[in-house]
Chain A
Amino acid sequence: MEHQATFDRVIGIIKPFVKNTDNLATASEETRLLEDLGVNSARLVDIVLAFEDEFDIAIDDESADRVQTLGDAVAVIQEKLQ
């Protein structure tokens, strides 16, 4: 899958968990989920479950722990898709 297409789908998936919605409009690969988007840290679990459902992949705990920025999320998803 195209990198940009994955990024766009990630944005769509995390949107319901974002408190700082203003920062979502200008989000980049470097945007951090917790610090920049105001995602509650407990919700990372729910976001990873949503990635699994949306992309039909399995994400192990170690890979999930790597997800800190939007770029990390795209990388993990693309890795699991291969």
Chain B
Amino acid sequence: MARRVVVTGLGVLAPNGHGLTEFESALREGRSGIRFYPKLAELKFGCQVGGAPQGVEEIKERYFSEEQRFSMKSTVIAFGAIAAVDCWRDAGFDVPESTSEEPDFDTGAIIGTGVAGIDLMCGFAGPMIDGGRTRRMGSTIVEQVMCSGVSARIGGLLGLGGQVSTNSSACTTGTEAIVEAYWQIQAGRAKRMLAGGAEGDSHYTWGSFDAMRVLAANRNQEPERASRPMSASASGFVPGSGAGMLMLESLESALERGARIYAEVLGGQVNSGGQRQGGSMTAPNPLGVQRCIRGALDAAGIRGEEVDAINGHLTATIADPREIASWQAALEVSPKRFPPINSTKSLIGHTLGAAGGIECVASVLELDRGFVHGSLNCEDLHPELEPYRDSIHGETIELEPRIVAKASFGFGDVNGCVIFGKWDSQHNNFDKE
């Protein structure tokens, strides 16, 4: 029998807030984390704005020893480690002080990233190696630039003894990690999985997207208005960075230890559009997207009309109207009955491999606390979205959603969708099955 899976911890380090209290208030108040970066102007980027967590060095000093910080120079590792420690503590556990005890064999981690330690590779290791100074680099490069560097670091900090791995599927990464972890617990292979994504703050990453002309390059003087999902004036996404994690746990384990339960993971799906039928390396096959969403609904055993709110992928490109059309087709509801849909990226930019993680934290907070956060900068709604006007809110609405759907889509034509249900101990009898 498939085990039920619940969310018992959250951790977030976002451009507009660190920790649940700050992040929730930023979501509710529509506080943007997008800033102008003079360095990007010096480097002649088209897009000179972005989102990065603030005060990270100070947080690192509070959270980690000097010995631990020595190999935490890559921002993806630092961001991931901070959010993971927060999530771990939020789930009711202490960070082990000693490394001599037995690991927690019941807990694993799937922590994804899009580009791993590119900041350290391009900014330090590359010049050192090319300059003939390889033997002066020290021992910490591999562990910080290997794709699994972020999960490896977190596994060691927390003493995790289950599967500890990093997944990578471009901008689907964080959501995919959560679906994968959900499947592991559902199948009884783990009691708990820390799951989510992290993306470092690096102009080398952002520059690679700037070169593609896919970033918003026309609002450098008004950064908070630059990320404009669903708007007629959307001209590309704003790059971001950070980390977001969920502690997923079997319901049985959560009840046994009296853990606080935020939400239930009702279902999930990942798939690919195969880069066919209009899909490509950089654009989704709409049929793939729709099948992914339907697959998640089927896994959850719910009908599309039962979805009360959607946290979209919605990056502020021409794909936004197509995404909403796919949601509508998959949910099989008329535009008039379409649920509220929002874009966390309007507040923090597109945090790439971390996006699914951070946006799932937002979705679970909405379920737990009873709101649907507003989307900034969509006053000039895209004309194709006119039929959905009543579902798109610039300001936060007070609503008690029972079911929130979250999807992410990534380069490679890959998709991920997860369905969260409100946890209500009165109506969630363990014997339900």
- How far apart are A50's CB and chain B's nearest CB, in angstroms? 9
Interface presence of A79 (CB below 8 A): no
A19 contacts B99, C-beta separation under 8 Å: yes
B139 contacts A43, C-beta separation under 8 Å: yes
B67 contacts A17, C-beta separation under 8 Å: yes
Proximity string of chain B (67-86) to chain A, C-beta cutoff 8 Å, 1 when within and 0 when not: 10010000000000000000
With a CB–CB cut-off of 8 A, which chain A residues contact B140? 42, 46
Interface presence of A49 (CB below 8 A): yes
Interface presence of A45 (CB below 8 A): yes
B70 contacts A16, C-beta separation under 8 Å: yes
Proximity string of chain B (51-74) to chain A, C-beta cutoff 8 Å, 1 when within and 0 when not: 000000000000001110010000
With a CB–CB cut-off of 8 A, which chain A residues contact B65? 19
B138 contacts A49, C-beta separation under 8 Å: yes
List A21-47 residues whose CB lies under 8 Å from chain B: 38, 42-46
With a CB–CB cut-off of 8 A, which chain B residues contact A42? 139-140, 143
Interface presence of A18 (CB below 8 A): yes
Interface presence of B136 (CB below 8 A): yes
- How far apart are B415's CB and chain A's nearest CB, in angstroms? 39
Q: How far is B65's CA from A17's CA once the two chains are assembled, in angstroms?
A: 10
Task: Determine the residue in chain B with the shortest Cβ distance to A39.
Answer: B67
- Interface residues of B, count at CB 8 A: 10
List B253-283 residues whose CB lies under 8 Å from chain A: none
With a CB–CB cut-off of 8 A, which chain B residues contact A43? 70, 139
A19 contacts B67, C-beta separation under 8 Å: yes
- How far apart are B378's CB and chain A's nearest CB, in angstroms? 49
- How far apart are A48's CB and chain B's nearest CB, in angstroms? 10
With a CB–CB cut-off of 8 A, which chain B residues contact A38? 99
Q: CB < 8 Å: which of A15, A16, A18, A46 contacts B139? A: A46
B70 contacts A17, C-beta separation under 8 Å: yes
Task: Determine the residue in chain A with the shortest Cβ distance to B68.
Answer: A19
Chain B residues touching A, majority SS: loop
Task: Determine the residue in chain A with the shortest Cβ distance to B99.
Answer: A19
- How far apart are A23's CB and chain B's nearest CB, in angstroms? 13
- How far apart are A39's CB and chain B's nearest CB, in angstroms? 9
B66 contacts A16, C-beta separation under 8 Å: yes
A45 contacts B99, C-beta separation under 8 Å: no
With a CB–CB cut-off of 8 A, which chain A residues contact B70? 16-17, 43, 46
Q: How far is B197's CA from A29's CA once the two chains are assembled, in angstroms?
A: 45
Proximity string of chain B (123-140) to chain A, C-beta cutoff 8 Å, 1 when within and 0 when not: 000000000000010111
Task: Determine the residue in chain B with the shortest Cβ distance to A17.
Answer: B67
Q: How far is B143's CA from A15's CA once the two chains are assembled, in angstroms?
A: 21
Q: CB < 8 Å: which of A18, A44, A45 contacts B67? A: A18
Q: How far is B70's CA from A15's CA once the two chains are assembled, in angstroms?
A: 12
With a CB–CB cut-off of 8 A, which chain A residues contact B67? 16-19
Q: CB < 8 Å: which of B66, B139, B143 contacts A45? A: B139
- How far apart are A14's CB and chain B's nearest CB, in angstroms? 10
With a CB–CB cut-off of 8 A, which chain B residues contact A44? 139
Q: How far is B140's CA from A19's CA once the two chains are assembled, in angstroms?
A: 16
Q: How far is B143's CA from A46's CA once the two chains are assembled, in angstroms?
A: 14
A46 contacts B138, C-beta separation under 8 Å: yes
With a CB–CB cut-off of 8 A, which chain B residues contact A17? 67, 70
- How far apart are B324's CB and chain A's nearest CB, in angstroms? 49
With a CB–CB cut-off of 8 A, which chain A residues contact B99? 19, 38
With a CB–CB cut-off of 8 A, which chain B residues contact A19? 65, 67, 99
- How far apart are B425's CB and chain A's nearest CB, in angstroms? 42
A15-B66, A17-B70, A46-B139 known; 17 new pairs, CB 8 Å cut-off, are: A16-B66, A16-B70, A17-B67, A18-B67, A19-B65, A19-B99, A38-B99, A42-B143, A43-B70, A43-B139, A44-B139, A45-B138, A45-B139, A46-B70, A46-B140, A49-B136, A49-B138
Could you pull out 22 A-B pairs where Cβ atoms are within 8 angstroms? Answer: A15-B66, A16-B66, A16-B67, A16-B70, A17-B70, A18-B67, A19-B65, A19-B67, A19-B99, A38-B99, A42-B140, A42-B143, A43-B70, A43-B139, A44-B139, A45-B138, A45-B139, A46-B70, A46-B139, A46-B140, A49-B136, A49-B138
> Which 6 residue pairs spanning A and B have beta carbons closest together?
A45-B139, A42-B139, A16-B66, A46-B138, A46-B139, A19-B67
Binding site for A on B (CB under 8 A): 65-67, 70, 99, 136, 138-140, 143
